[in-house]
Amino acid sequence: RRSGRSSSAIAVSSMRSAAELTATAWVESLSPWPEEFGLGRMRALLAELGQPQRAFRSIHVVGTNGKSTATRTVEELLRAEGLRVGAYLSPHVRGWSERIRIDGDEADFERAVVRVRPAAERVGATQFEVLTAAALLEFAEAGVDAAVVEAGLGGRHDATNVLDAPVVLLTNIGLDHTDVLGSTRGQIAQENPAVVRPGATVVLPDDEFAPVVSHARVIVGGAHEAAGAFLGREVRSVVEVTLPGRLDQRGEDELWDGAHNAEGAAWLAGRLPRRDYTI
């Protein structure tokens, strides 16, 4: 006790109540996984926030791999066409603020979370539900013309499945989160398109799972076709997007890339020049 303070005083002074946490620290303290999957908490949270998801039109991006790159590409294509665009991505690499973007810039993350925190605490929202609600409220407050929203896990029970999106972009279907989504690609194919509303346009990478989406217009393509379907006309703009940790060249002999499943690793390996690598 060289400082003259008792151990109990030190313990008390080192503790912060939940109310004293910064918004970012509070988000980090939340569980990313719900005790039970479902949309009840998310719908209750949005109701308390005034249904911000109804204030704008959206493109919903679902699939296994490449969703963030697709989301950013659609975002930039729509911006190139003169729209004010919001984008919601996950996961982040450098910081939480990467997840919510307004008109080409990262939103004020602390402010976005502070806005939804009281309501989120009342309904017991999970981490991803808080982040999704914060993004949707930011988009509504900013008056975006369009929001490009990336799903987190699957589709049916994902917190983003509260949108009435006229366009859904499916990047691909692979084996991932099999304990939640199913153990086969066919089972997972039932989960992702569950976000599709009747009358929407669904953009698929190929026609393999087109029969699964029987209640919507289906076209084959990617980001350009999704942006075109949203605008109702062909999009010819050419954009380049970069994301941290995705084919991220650091120096001459170092490449940073995140692949969280076998399909992602195989995609990367097939695009690297043949040589010896240390991974």
pLDDT of residue 177: 55
Q: Return d(Cα 226, Cα 223) in angstroms, integer.
A: 5
For residue 143, the model assigns a pLDDT of 98
pLDDT at residue number 13: 39
For residue 6, the model assigns a pLDDT of 47
Q: Residue 139: CB partners within 8 Å, gap ≥ 6?
A: 52, 55, 56, 86, 88, 102, 147
| CA 183 to each of CA 66, 174, 177, 180, 207: distance values in angstroms, whole numbers, following the listed order | 20, 10, 9, 9, 21
SS3 of 204, please? Answer: strand
Per-residue pLDDT of the chain (279 residues), as tens digits, is 344 444 444 444 344 455 557 999 999 999 888 878 889 999 999 999 999 999 999 999 998 888 999 999 999 999 999 999 999 999 998 999 999 999 999 999 999 999 999 999 999 999 999 999 999 999 999 999 999 999 987 777 889 999 999 999 998 776 555 555 555 666 666 676 788 899 999 999 888 776 687 788 999 999 999 999 999 999 999 999 988 888 887 878 888 887 777 888 888 888 888 888 777
**pLDDT given at position 123:** 96
CB 126 within 8 A of CB 34: yes
How many angstroms separate the CA atoms of 273 and 279, rounded? 14
Contact partners, residue 255, CB within 8 Å, separation at least 6 = 247, 248, 249, 272
**121: CB partners within 8 A, 6+ apart:** none
pTM of the model: 0.84
DSSP string, 85-154: EEEE----SS-GGGGEEETTEE--HHHHHHHHHHHHHHHT--HHHHHHHHHHHHHHHHT-SEEEEE-SSS
Q: What pLDDT score does 44 carry?
A: 98
Which 3 state secondary structure label does DSSP give 58?
strand
Q: Which helix (H) or strand (E) holds 249?
A: strand 248-249
